[in-house]
A = this chain, B = another copy of it.
Amino acid sequence: MPKYIVGGVCAPKGFRAAGVHCGIRKNKTKKDLALIVADVRCTAAGVYTTNLVQGAPIVVTKAHLKDGFARAVIVNSGNANTCNADGAEIAEGMCALVEKYAGVPKEDVIVASTGVIGRPLSLAPIEAGVPALVGELSYGGEGSTAAAEAIMTTDTVRKEVAVSFEVGGKKCTIGAVAKGVGMICPNMATMLCFITTDVCISSGMLQRALTEDVADSFNMLSVDRDTSTNDTLCILASGLAGNAEITAAGADLTAFKRALRAVTTSLCRMLAADGEGATKLLECRVTGAKSKKIARTAAKSVVCSNLFKAAMFGADANWGRVLCALGYSGAPLDISKIDVAFRTANGYLPVCKGGAGIPFDETFAKAVLSAAEIGIEIELHDGHCKATAWGCDLTYDYVKINGDYRT
Protein backbone atom coordinates (compact mmCIF):
# COMPACT_ATOMS: atom_id res chain seq x y z
CA MET A 1 0.00 0.00 0.00
CA PRO A 2 1.22 3.55 -0.73
CA LYS A 3 2.52 5.40 2.35
CA TYR A 4 2.15 9.16 2.75
CA ILE A 5 5.48 10.97 3.22
CA VAL A 6 6.78 14.56 3.25
CA GLY A 7 8.60 16.46 0.51
CA GLY A 8 5.93 17.17 -2.13
CA VAL A 9 7.28 17.36 -5.69
CA CYS A 10 10.85 17.10 -4.34
CA ALA A 11 10.20 13.75 -2.64
CA PRO A 12 10.89 11.66 -5.79
CA LYS A 13 14.52 11.29 -6.84
CA GLY A 14 15.87 13.91 -9.23
CA PHE A 15 13.57 16.91 -8.77
CA ARG A 16 14.34 20.44 -7.55
CA ALA A 17 11.77 23.18 -7.03
CA ALA A 18 11.52 26.83 -6.01
CA GLY A 19 9.08 29.74 -5.73
CA VAL A 20 9.68 33.50 -5.56
CA HIS A 21 7.91 36.86 -5.77
CA CYS A 22 8.77 38.49 -9.10
CA GLY A 23 6.22 41.30 -9.22
CA ILE A 24 3.23 40.02 -11.21
CA ARG A 25 1.29 40.41 -7.97
CA LYS A 26 1.43 43.75 -6.17
CA ASN A 27 1.63 42.15 -2.72
CA LYS A 28 5.36 41.54 -2.18
CA THR A 29 4.78 38.93 0.51
CA LYS A 30 2.97 36.70 -1.98
CA LYS A 31 5.13 34.47 -4.21
CA ASP A 32 3.97 34.48 -7.84
CA LEU A 33 6.49 32.42 -9.85
CA ALA A 34 7.30 28.72 -9.45
CA LEU A 35 9.78 26.39 -11.13
CA ILE A 36 10.24 22.62 -11.03
CA VAL A 37 13.32 21.17 -12.75
CA ALA A 38 14.26 17.51 -13.19
CA ASP A 39 17.87 16.33 -13.29
CA VAL A 40 17.12 14.22 -16.34
CA ARG A 41 14.73 14.35 -19.26
CA CYS A 42 11.45 12.76 -18.06
CA THR A 43 8.63 10.90 -19.72
CA ALA A 44 5.66 13.20 -19.29
CA ALA A 45 1.90 13.32 -19.76
CA GLY A 46 -0.84 15.88 -19.31
CA VAL A 47 -4.58 16.46 -19.31
CA TYR A 48 -6.18 19.86 -19.82
CA THR A 49 -9.42 21.76 -19.56
CA THR A 50 -12.18 20.96 -22.05
CA ASN A 51 -13.28 24.62 -22.03
CA LEU A 52 -13.24 26.01 -25.60
CA VAL A 53 -11.56 29.08 -24.18
CA GLN A 54 -8.08 27.79 -23.42
CA GLY A 55 -5.28 29.71 -21.80
CA ALA A 56 -2.32 30.42 -24.08
CA PRO A 57 0.01 28.39 -21.79
CA ILE A 58 -2.10 25.29 -22.49
CA VAL A 59 -1.59 25.64 -26.23
CA VAL A 60 2.17 25.94 -25.71
CA THR A 61 2.35 23.09 -23.18
CA LYS A 62 0.42 20.74 -25.47
CA ALA A 63 2.92 21.44 -28.27
CA HIS A 64 5.89 20.88 -25.95
CA LEU A 65 4.47 17.62 -24.57
CA LYS A 66 3.62 16.19 -27.98
CA ASP A 67 6.77 14.02 -27.97
CA GLY A 68 5.97 12.63 -24.49
CA PHE A 69 9.00 14.19 -22.78
CA ALA A 70 9.67 17.22 -20.55
CA ARG A 71 12.18 18.39 -17.93
CA ALA A 72 10.82 21.54 -16.29
CA VAL A 73 7.62 23.33 -15.27
CA ILE A 74 7.30 27.12 -14.96
CA VAL A 75 4.13 28.61 -13.48
CA ASN A 76 2.99 32.10 -12.57
CA SER A 77 0.03 33.18 -10.46
CA GLY A 78 -1.75 36.56 -10.56
CA ASN A 79 -2.58 36.44 -14.27
CA ALA A 80 -4.09 33.60 -16.35
CA ASN A 81 -2.58 34.79 -19.66
CA THR A 82 -5.88 33.91 -21.32
CA CYS A 83 -7.88 35.90 -23.91
CA ASN A 84 -4.79 38.05 -24.59
CA ALA A 85 -3.73 38.71 -28.19
CA ASP A 86 -0.05 38.06 -27.40
CA GLY A 87 -0.66 35.14 -25.01
CA ALA A 88 1.21 32.40 -26.89
CA GLU A 89 4.21 34.66 -27.43
CA ILE A 90 4.40 35.41 -23.69
CA ALA A 91 4.03 31.72 -22.77
CA GLU A 92 6.82 30.77 -25.22
CA GLY A 93 8.88 33.58 -23.74
CA MET A 94 8.52 32.07 -20.26
CA CYS A 95 9.85 28.74 -21.58
CA ALA A 96 12.74 30.49 -23.30
CA LEU A 97 13.72 32.10 -19.99
CA VAL A 98 13.96 28.63 -18.42
CA GLU A 99 16.24 27.58 -21.28
CA LYS A 100 18.39 30.69 -20.86
CA TYR A 101 18.84 30.49 -17.09
CA ALA A 102 18.36 26.79 -16.20
CA GLY A 103 19.70 25.17 -19.37
CA VAL A 104 16.54 23.17 -20.13
CA PRO A 105 15.63 23.25 -23.86
CA LYS A 106 12.46 25.34 -24.16
CA GLU A 107 10.65 22.51 -25.99
CA ASP A 108 11.02 20.47 -22.77
CA VAL A 109 9.35 23.11 -20.59
CA ILE A 110 5.74 22.93 -19.39
CA VAL A 111 4.20 26.36 -18.80
CA ALA A 112 1.07 27.36 -16.86
CA SER A 113 -0.56 30.56 -15.65
CA THR A 114 -3.38 31.21 -13.18
CA GLY A 115 -5.23 34.35 -12.14
CA VAL A 116 -7.40 36.95 -13.84
CA ILE A 117 -8.56 36.21 -17.41
CA GLY A 118 -8.13 38.87 -20.11
CA ARG A 119 -5.48 41.05 -18.52
CA PRO A 120 -2.27 41.34 -20.62
CA LEU A 121 0.73 39.62 -18.98
CA SER A 122 4.08 41.35 -19.21
CA LEU A 123 7.24 39.22 -19.54
CA ALA A 124 9.34 41.90 -17.77
CA PRO A 125 8.82 40.88 -14.11
CA ILE A 126 9.24 37.19 -15.07
CA GLU A 127 12.50 37.91 -16.90
CA ALA A 128 13.70 39.83 -13.85
CA GLY A 129 12.65 37.01 -11.49
CA VAL A 130 13.87 33.85 -13.22
CA PRO A 131 17.59 34.16 -12.31
CA ALA A 132 16.75 34.34 -8.59
CA LEU A 133 14.21 31.54 -9.04
CA VAL A 134 16.85 29.27 -10.58
CA GLY A 135 19.25 30.19 -7.78
CA GLU A 136 16.70 29.06 -5.19
CA LEU A 137 16.09 25.61 -6.72
CA SER A 138 16.32 22.99 -3.98
CA TYR A 139 16.03 19.19 -3.66
CA GLY A 140 14.60 19.68 -0.17
CA GLY A 141 10.97 19.85 0.91
CA GLU A 142 11.33 23.65 1.21
CA GLY A 143 11.64 23.84 -2.58
CA SER A 144 8.32 22.05 -3.05
CA THR A 145 6.71 24.22 -0.39
CA ALA A 146 7.88 27.44 -2.06
CA ALA A 147 6.59 26.23 -5.44
CA ALA A 148 3.25 25.22 -3.89
CA GLU A 149 2.95 28.70 -2.35
CA ALA A 150 3.85 30.49 -5.57
CA ILE A 151 1.00 28.93 -7.57
CA MET A 152 -1.73 29.82 -5.02
CA THR A 153 -4.39 32.43 -5.93
CA THR A 154 -7.30 32.65 -3.47
CA ASP A 155 -6.14 29.36 -1.92
CA THR A 156 -5.85 29.71 1.85
CA VAL A 157 -3.56 26.69 2.34
CA ARG A 158 -0.92 25.24 0.04
CA LYS A 159 -1.50 21.79 -1.41
CA GLU A 160 1.37 19.30 -1.41
CA VAL A 161 1.41 15.55 -1.07
CA ALA A 162 3.81 12.63 -1.60
CA VAL A 163 3.62 8.85 -1.28
CA SER A 164 6.18 6.07 -1.37
CA PHE A 165 5.45 2.56 -2.65
CA GLU A 166 7.20 -0.34 -4.34
CA VAL A 167 7.42 -1.36 -7.99
CA GLY A 168 9.22 -4.65 -8.65
CA GLY A 169 10.99 -4.48 -5.29
CA LYS A 170 12.25 -0.92 -5.86
CA LYS A 171 11.20 1.94 -3.60
CA CYS A 172 9.38 4.52 -5.74
CA THR A 173 7.89 7.90 -4.93
CA ILE A 174 5.22 10.22 -6.33
CA GLY A 175 4.95 13.86 -5.25
CA ALA A 176 2.63 16.70 -6.23
CA VAL A 177 1.71 20.34 -5.78
CA ALA A 178 -1.67 21.78 -6.76
CA LYS A 179 -3.75 24.93 -6.54
CA GLY A 180 -7.40 25.74 -7.11
CA VAL A 181 -10.29 26.95 -5.00
CA GLY A 182 -12.68 28.63 -7.44
CA MET A 183 -13.71 28.05 -11.07
CA ILE A 184 -13.31 24.40 -10.11
CA CYS A 185 -15.33 21.83 -11.97
CA PRO A 186 -12.67 19.96 -13.89
CA ASN A 187 -13.79 18.01 -16.91
CA MET A 188 -11.21 15.59 -18.35
CA ALA A 189 -8.62 17.70 -16.61
CA THR A 190 -8.21 19.88 -13.57
CA MET A 191 -6.99 23.15 -12.12
CA LEU A 192 -3.20 23.41 -11.85
CA CYS A 193 -1.55 20.28 -10.57
CA PHE A 194 2.01 19.11 -11.13
CA ILE A 195 3.04 15.60 -10.20
CA THR A 196 6.57 14.23 -10.13
CA THR A 197 7.71 10.64 -9.80
CA ASP A 198 10.95 8.70 -10.02
CA VAL A 199 9.18 5.66 -11.43
CA CYS A 200 10.57 4.43 -14.74
CA ILE A 201 7.57 4.35 -17.06
CA SER A 202 7.00 4.95 -20.77
CA SER A 203 5.22 8.11 -21.95
CA GLY A 204 2.38 6.01 -23.29
CA MET A 205 1.76 4.17 -20.03
CA LEU A 206 2.12 7.42 -18.08
CA GLN A 207 -0.54 9.16 -20.19
CA ARG A 208 -2.82 6.14 -19.86
CA ALA A 209 -2.43 5.99 -16.08
CA LEU A 210 -3.08 9.72 -15.77
CA THR A 211 -6.13 9.77 -18.05
CA GLU A 212 -7.67 6.79 -16.26
CA ASP A 213 -6.97 8.33 -12.89
CA VAL A 214 -8.64 11.71 -13.48
CA ALA A 215 -11.98 10.10 -14.32
CA ASP A 216 -12.23 9.08 -10.64
CA SER A 217 -10.23 11.86 -9.05
CA PHE A 218 -10.21 15.43 -10.38
CA ASN A 219 -13.20 14.94 -12.65
CA MET A 220 -15.21 14.08 -9.54
CA LEU A 221 -14.43 17.40 -7.87
CA SER A 222 -16.44 20.61 -7.98
CA VAL A 223 -16.33 23.86 -6.07
CA ASP A 224 -18.67 25.90 -8.25
CA ARG A 225 -19.42 24.01 -11.48
CA ASP A 226 -17.33 26.54 -13.41
CA THR A 227 -14.83 24.67 -15.59
CA SER A 228 -11.73 26.85 -15.77
CA THR A 229 -9.99 27.96 -18.95
CA ASN A 230 -6.56 27.05 -17.58
CA ASP A 231 -6.95 23.62 -15.98
CA THR A 232 -3.67 21.76 -16.38
CA LEU A 233 -2.51 18.52 -14.80
CA CYS A 234 0.97 17.32 -15.77
CA ILE A 235 3.14 14.48 -14.53
CA LEU A 236 6.89 14.04 -15.00
CA ALA A 237 8.58 10.66 -14.43
CA SER A 238 12.37 10.78 -13.97
CA GLY A 239 12.86 7.00 -13.94
CA LEU A 240 15.53 7.33 -11.23
CA ALA A 241 13.88 4.82 -8.89
CA GLY A 242 15.60 2.05 -10.78
CA ASN A 243 12.58 -0.15 -11.46
CA ALA A 244 12.28 -1.96 -14.79
CA GLU A 245 10.52 0.42 -17.16
CA ILE A 246 6.75 0.05 -17.14
CA THR A 247 5.74 -0.35 -20.78
CA ALA A 248 2.55 -2.40 -20.53
CA ALA A 249 -0.34 -3.26 -18.22
CA GLY A 250 0.52 -5.58 -15.33
CA ALA A 251 1.32 -5.64 -11.62
CA ASP A 252 3.80 -2.75 -11.89
CA LEU A 253 1.33 -0.45 -13.65
CA THR A 254 -1.30 -1.40 -11.09
CA ALA A 255 1.04 -0.52 -8.21
CA PHE A 256 1.83 2.80 -9.87
CA LYS A 257 -1.82 3.59 -10.50
CA ARG A 258 -2.74 2.79 -6.91
CA ALA A 259 -0.05 5.19 -5.66
CA LEU A 260 -1.14 7.82 -8.18
CA ARG A 261 -4.73 7.50 -6.96
CA ALA A 262 -3.57 7.98 -3.36
CA VAL A 263 -1.91 11.24 -4.43
CA THR A 264 -4.78 12.57 -6.54
CA THR A 265 -7.52 11.60 -4.07
CA SER A 266 -5.63 13.34 -1.32
CA LEU A 267 -5.32 16.48 -3.47
CA CYS A 268 -9.03 16.41 -4.36
CA ARG A 269 -9.92 16.38 -0.69
CA MET A 270 -7.51 19.28 -0.02
CA LEU A 271 -8.86 21.30 -2.95
CA ALA A 272 -12.50 20.75 -1.99
CA ALA A 273 -11.86 21.54 1.68
CA ASP A 274 -10.18 24.82 0.67
CA GLY A 275 -12.88 25.68 -1.92
CA GLU A 276 -13.52 29.41 -2.00
CA GLY A 277 -15.28 30.37 1.20
CA ALA A 278 -15.75 26.73 2.21
CA THR A 279 -16.20 25.70 5.82
CA LYS A 280 -16.93 22.03 5.12
CA LEU A 281 -15.61 19.25 2.91
CA LEU A 282 -18.37 17.20 1.28
CA GLU A 283 -17.62 13.62 0.22
CA CYS A 284 -20.50 11.92 -1.59
CA ARG A 285 -20.21 8.15 -1.91
CA VAL A 286 -22.63 6.43 -4.26
CA THR A 287 -22.84 2.63 -4.08
CA GLY A 288 -25.06 -0.04 -5.64
CA ALA A 289 -25.10 1.58 -9.10
CA LYS A 290 -25.78 -0.33 -12.30
CA SER A 291 -22.71 1.23 -13.95
CA LYS A 292 -19.66 3.26 -13.02
CA LYS A 293 -20.94 6.10 -15.19
CA ILE A 294 -24.26 6.22 -13.33
CA ALA A 295 -22.44 6.22 -9.98
CA ARG A 296 -20.18 9.09 -11.07
CA THR A 297 -23.03 11.17 -12.52
CA ALA A 298 -25.17 10.74 -9.41
CA ALA A 299 -22.36 11.54 -6.94
CA LYS A 300 -21.19 14.60 -8.83
CA SER A 301 -24.71 16.01 -9.20
CA VAL A 302 -25.12 16.06 -5.41
CA VAL A 303 -21.86 17.89 -4.64
CA CYS A 304 -22.63 20.39 -7.45
CA SER A 305 -26.06 21.47 -6.15
CA ASN A 306 -26.03 25.05 -4.85
CA LEU A 307 -29.08 24.31 -2.74
CA PHE A 308 -27.54 21.24 -1.13
CA LYS A 309 -24.24 23.06 -0.58
CA ALA A 310 -26.03 25.95 1.15
CA ALA A 311 -27.93 23.46 3.33
CA MET A 312 -24.64 21.87 4.42
CA PHE A 313 -23.31 25.33 5.34
CA GLY A 314 -26.35 25.67 7.59
CA ALA A 315 -25.98 22.09 8.96
CA ASP A 316 -29.54 21.52 7.73
CA ALA A 317 -30.33 17.83 7.04
CA ASN A 318 -32.41 18.78 3.99
CA TRP A 319 -32.10 15.40 2.27
CA GLY A 320 -34.87 16.30 -0.19
CA ARG A 321 -32.21 18.35 -1.97
CA VAL A 322 -30.05 15.22 -2.31
CA LEU A 323 -32.93 13.38 -3.99
CA CYS A 324 -33.71 16.44 -6.12
CA ALA A 325 -30.10 16.57 -7.35
CA LEU A 326 -30.11 12.83 -8.08
CA GLY A 327 -33.37 13.23 -9.97
CA TYR A 328 -32.09 15.90 -12.37
CA SER A 329 -28.60 14.40 -12.72
CA GLY A 330 -29.44 12.74 -16.01
CA ALA A 331 -28.55 9.30 -14.63
CA PRO A 332 -31.31 6.68 -15.05
CA LEU A 333 -32.16 5.94 -11.41
CA ASP A 334 -34.99 4.13 -9.66
CA ILE A 335 -35.79 6.74 -7.03
CA SER A 336 -37.99 4.33 -5.06
CA LYS A 337 -34.94 2.18 -4.19
CA ILE A 338 -32.63 4.93 -2.93
CA ASP A 339 -31.31 5.12 0.64
CA VAL A 340 -29.51 8.24 1.92
CA ALA A 341 -27.49 8.78 5.10
CA PHE A 342 -25.09 11.38 6.47
CA ARG A 343 -21.92 10.18 8.22
CA THR A 344 -19.47 12.43 10.06
CA ALA A 345 -17.10 12.32 13.02
CA ASN A 346 -20.13 13.34 15.14
CA GLY A 347 -22.35 10.42 14.18
CA TYR A 348 -24.36 8.49 11.59
CA LEU A 349 -27.75 9.78 10.41
CA PRO A 350 -29.94 7.77 8.00
CA VAL A 351 -32.53 10.14 6.50
CA CYS A 352 -34.16 8.39 3.54
CA LYS A 353 -35.06 4.76 2.78
CA GLY A 354 -36.57 3.54 -0.46
CA GLY A 355 -36.96 7.12 -1.71
CA ALA A 356 -39.07 8.26 1.24
CA GLY A 357 -38.12 10.09 4.42
CA ILE A 358 -37.51 8.40 7.77
CA PRO A 359 -37.97 10.28 11.04
CA PHE A 360 -34.86 11.67 12.76
CA ASP A 361 -34.02 13.92 15.65
CA GLU A 362 -33.30 17.46 14.42
CA THR A 363 -30.94 18.27 17.28
CA PHE A 364 -28.86 15.17 16.60
CA ALA A 365 -28.94 15.94 12.86
CA LYS A 366 -27.59 19.44 13.51
CA ALA A 367 -24.76 17.96 15.57
CA VAL A 368 -23.88 15.38 12.91
CA LEU A 369 -23.77 18.03 10.19
CA SER A 370 -21.72 20.47 12.24
CA ALA A 371 -18.57 18.43 11.53
CA ALA A 372 -15.90 19.81 9.18
CA GLU A 373 -16.15 16.76 6.90
CA ILE A 374 -19.53 15.44 5.81
CA GLY A 375 -19.99 12.07 4.15
CA ILE A 376 -23.15 11.68 2.09
CA GLU A 377 -23.83 7.97 1.58
CA ILE A 378 -26.20 7.03 -1.23
CA GLU A 379 -27.11 3.37 -1.82
CA LEU A 380 -28.96 2.84 -5.11
CA HIS A 381 -29.70 -0.92 -4.61
CA ASP A 382 -29.39 -1.39 -8.33
CA GLY A 383 -25.98 -2.97 -8.98
CA HIS A 384 -22.40 -3.16 -7.77
CA CYS A 385 -20.67 -0.04 -9.08
CA LYS A 386 -19.63 2.91 -6.96
CA ALA A 387 -18.06 6.36 -7.15
CA THR A 388 -17.01 9.20 -4.87
CA ALA A 389 -17.28 12.94 -5.55
CA TRP A 390 -15.87 15.86 -3.58
CA GLY A 391 -17.20 19.33 -3.03
CA CYS A 392 -17.68 21.97 -0.36
CA ASP A 393 -20.43 24.06 1.18
CA LEU A 394 -21.68 27.31 -0.37
CA THR A 395 -21.06 30.18 2.03
CA TYR A 396 -21.21 33.95 2.45
CA ASP A 397 -17.48 34.05 1.83
CA TYR A 398 -17.77 32.41 -1.60
CA VAL A 399 -19.97 35.33 -2.60
CA LYS A 400 -17.64 37.84 -0.96
CA ILE A 401 -14.51 36.45 -2.63
CA ASN A 402 -16.11 36.34 -6.06
CA GLY A 403 -18.12 39.53 -5.84
CA ASP A 404 -14.92 41.49 -6.20
CA TYR A 405 -12.08 39.24 -7.32
CA ARG A 406 -10.26 41.56 -9.71
CA THR A 407 -9.83 44.62 -7.52
Enumerate chain A interface residues (CB-CB to B < 8 A).
49-54, 80, 82-85, 116-120, 182-183, 185, 187, 224-229, 304-307, 310-311, 313-314, 316, 318-321, 323-328, 332-333, 335, 352, 355-357, 362, 394-396, 398-407
A325 to B227, CA, bound (A): 8
Cβ contacts under 8 Å, A229 to chain B: 320, 323-324, 327
A323 and B118 form a contact (CB under 8 A): yes
Cα of A276 to Cα of B383 in the assembled complex, Å: 38
Q: Are the C-beta atoms of B327 and A53 separated by less than 8 Å?
A: yes
B357 and A83 within 8 A (CB) = yes
Are B118's CB and A182's CB within 8 A?
Answer: no
A117 close to B402 (CB less than 8 A): no
Q: Are A320 and B357 in contact (CB under 8 A)?
A: no
Q: Is the CB of A51 within 8 A of B405?
A: no
Of the residues B118, B187, B314, contact of A402 by C-beta under 8 Å: B314
Known: A226-B325, A229-B323, A310-B401. 17 other contacts (CB 8 A): A51-B328, A52-B326, A52-B333, A52-B335, A83-B356, A118-B320, A187-B328, A226-B328, A227-B328, A229-B324, A229-B327, A306-B398, A310-B399, A310-B403, A311-B403, A318-B406, A398-B399
Instruction: List the 9 closest pairs (A to B, CB-CB), nearest first.
Output: A117-B320, A314-B403, A53-B327, A310-B402, A51-B327, A118-B357, A227-B328, A314-B404, A52-B327
What are 27 A-B contacts with C-beta separation under 8 Å? A51-B328, A52-B327, A80-B320, A83-B320, A83-B323, A85-B356, A116-B318, A117-B320, A117-B323, A183-B324, A187-B328, A224-B307, A226-B305, A226-B306, A226-B324, A226-B328, A227-B327, A228-B324, A229-B324, A307-B402, A311-B402, A311-B404, A314-B402, A314-B403, A314-B405, A362-B407, A399-B399
Residue from A182, A305, A356 whose CB has the most chain B CB atoms within 10 Å: A356
Q: Which residues of B contact A227 (CB under 8 A)?
A: 324, 327-328
Please, which residues of chain B bring their CB within 8 A of the CB of A406? 316, 318
Assembly CA distance A82 to B399 (angstroms): 31
Q: Determine the chain B residues whose CB is within 8 A of the CB of A306 once the complex forms.
A: 224-226, 306, 398, 402
